[in-house]
Amino acid sequence: MKRVSLTQYLVEQQREHGRIPAQLRLLIEVVARACKHIAIAVNKGALGDVLGSAGSENVQGEIQKKLDVISNEVLIEANEWGGHLAAMASEEMDSIHVVPNRYPQGEYLLLFDPLDGSSNIDVNVSIGTIFSVLRKVGHTRGVSEEDFLQPGKHQAAAGYCVYGPQTTLVLTLGDGVALFTLDRETGSWVLTQSGLQIPEDTREFSINMSNQRHWAAPVRRYIDECLDGRTGPRGKDFNMRWVGSMVSDVHRILTRGGIFLYPWDSREPDKPGKLRLMYEANPMAFIVEQAGGLASTGRERIMDVVPGKLHERVAVALGSRNEVLRIDAYHAEAG
Ligand code: AHG
Ligand code: MN
Ligand code: MN
């Protein structure tokens, strides 16, 4: 079988469909190359001295792991000089990183969660990188945080990498979802699946059950009904899977369907949710919708949420279409 590399895939998208401008093509290639570097670091584990805590805290008050810091640096360094970006924003940085003056400024904005699933690093469970691409709109000189505060529906591209038994890259440019697998011998990303589709129905849910007592009524109702199984209102048994790395939990859903939830909970009532809108929820929502699924806060399409600030958080329910619609309906009924 003839192998199609990421480069060939991008060139063909550009040539045949005029879909991606040269700067966006370069951006995707650079991010994919950075992810290879991160994959190598992840793979070395204790041998590369990459496990454990970095001894610092990020802007959200979370302890940073060494790999959070390393991955952030790899992505920044890789993306600074190409002339494709105006600025970057990351879960691990307080404020935006503007491309230094010595390099040309491009028209795109890159946002990332450099290392998703930090609690799984030291236990050798799959982790990943999530990214989102926006265009800098308006012709003002310079770039500020304001330029980033666009709803997810304006994303030009989004993707994630899973560092697991296989190293895979999932990408959308707004016309379906493609999956690439890293061939470690040749060092190239090879297209292994395109046109990914999430089944509309499922018997599998993914949620951190230890927070059950803190959830709002509509989420409790939804999960209770799943747990009631065949003799309950749903009339079927449900299975549960929770990796604790959003990349892996979402990737399972992309592969065989399912529903992933990280809802609002009453421990911190003023926070809309735990996950970050710009680095986690929006890119995953774009990918899931492009694969025929839905992504909602319970009350609103995630990609319609207008961010008020860079590190904004949001409640998340995404995956198989009919399950997300049901969760939305339960929220609507609860008023
Ligand atoms: P990160 O490692 O980037 O901080 O993200 C972790 C996220 C997400 O991957 C996962 O779904 C969730 O946090 C798990 O959190 P809890 O273990 O607190 O439920
Ligand atoms: Mn994360
Ligand atoms: Mn992270």
Tell me which ligand sits closest to the C-alpha of residue 127. Answer: 1
Task: Give me ligand 1 centre to Cα 12, in Å.
Answer: 36
Closest C-alpha among 285, 286, 279, 289 to residue 309: 279
Task: Give me ligand 2 centre to Cα 186, in Å.
Answer: 29
Tell me which ligand sits closest to the C-alpha of residue 125. Answer: 1
Provide the greatest CA pair distance for the chain.
66
pLDDT of residue 142: 87
Task: Give me ligand 2 centre to Cα 91, in Å.
Answer: 8
Say if ligand 1 is within 6 A of residue 246 CB: yes
Secondary structure class of 1 (helix, strand, coil): coil
Q: How far is CA 198 from the centre of its chain?
A: 16
Task: Give me ligand 1 centre to Cα 262, in Å.
Answer: 9
Which atom of ligand 1 has the smallest separation from the CA of 117?
A: 2
- pLDDT, tens digit, 9 for 90 and up, residues 216-275: 999 999 999 999 999 999 999 999 999 999 999 999 999 999 999 999 999 999 999 999
Which atom of ligand 1 has the smallest separation from the CA of 118?
A: 2
**Helix 22-44 and helix 6-17, axial crossing angle in degrees, nearest 10:** 160
Structure tokens given for 269: 């009532």
Task: Give me ligand 3 centre to Cα 61, in Å.
Answer: 12
Which atom of ligand 1 has the smallest separation from the CA of 247?
A: 9
Which atom of ligand 1 has the smallest separation from the CA of 91?
A: 3
Q: CA distances (Å), 17 to each of 12, 114, 264, in order?
A: 8, 30, 40
Residues 13 and 173 sit within 8 Å (Cβ to Cβ):
yes
Which atom of ligand 1 has the smallest separation from the CA of 208?
A: 19
Residues 248 and 260 sit within 8 Å (Cβ to Cβ):
no
E strands, the chain, where?
Answer: 53-57, 63-65, 85-90, 97-98, 108-116, 127-135, 157-163, 167-172, 177-183, 188-194, 204-206, 239-240, 259-262, 275-276, 294-296, 313-314, 316-319
| Cα–Cα distance, 113 to 106 (Å, whole number) | 21
Binned at pLDDT 50, 70 and 90, residue 4 comes out as very high
Say if ligand 1 is within 6 A of residue 129 CB: no
Query: Would you say the pTM of this structure is higher than 0.95?
Result: yes
- pLDDT, tens digit, 9 for 90 and up, residues 113-151: 999 999 999 999 999 999 999 999 977 778 999 999 999
Task: Give me ligand 3 centre to Cα 116, in Å.
Answer: 4
Residue owning the nearest CA to atom 14 of ligand 1: 244
pLDDT of residue 19: 77
Tell me which ligand sits closest to the C-alpha of residue 243. Answer: 1
How many CA atoms within 13 Å lie on the side-chain side of 167? Answer: 22
Angle (CA) 112 278 70, round 5°: 20
Structure tokens given for 335: 């008023």
| Cα–Cα distance, 90 to 110 (Å, whole number) | 8
The structural domains of the chain, ordered by start, are 6-194 (3.30.540.10), 204-334 (3.40.190.80)
Say if ligand 1 is within 6 A of residue 289 CB: no
Residues 150 and 138 sit within 8 Å (Cβ to Cβ):
no
Structure tokens given for 29: 């290639």
Say if ligand 1 is within 6 A of residue 117 CB: yes
Say if ligand 1 is within 6 A of residue 116 CB: yes
Say if ligand 1 is within 6 A of residue 245 CB: yes
- pLDDT, tens digit, 9 for 90 and up, residues 25-83: 999 999 999 999 999 999 999 999 999 999 999 988 899 999 999 999 999 999 999 99
- pLDDT, tens digit, 9 for 90 and up, residues 153-202: 999 999 999 999 999 999 999 999 999 999 999 999 999 999 999 999 99
The residue type at 141: R
Structure tokens given for 276: 């970050």
| Cα–Cα distance, 16 to 2 (Å, whole number) | 19
Residue 62 is classified by DSSP as P
Say if ligand 1 is within 6 A of residue 140 CB: no
What average pLDDT does this structure show over 90-110?
96
Q: Name 53's Cβ contacts closer than 8 Å, sequence gap at least 6.
A: 63, 64, 65, 66
Which atom of ligand 1 has the smallest separation from the CA of 113?
A: 3
| Cα–Cα distance, 314 to 272 (Å, whole number) | 5
User: Among 70, 90, 245, which residue has the most ligand 1 atoms within 8 Å of its CB, making it the best to mutate?
Assistant: 245
Tell me which ligand sits closest to the C-alpha of residue 118. Answer: 1
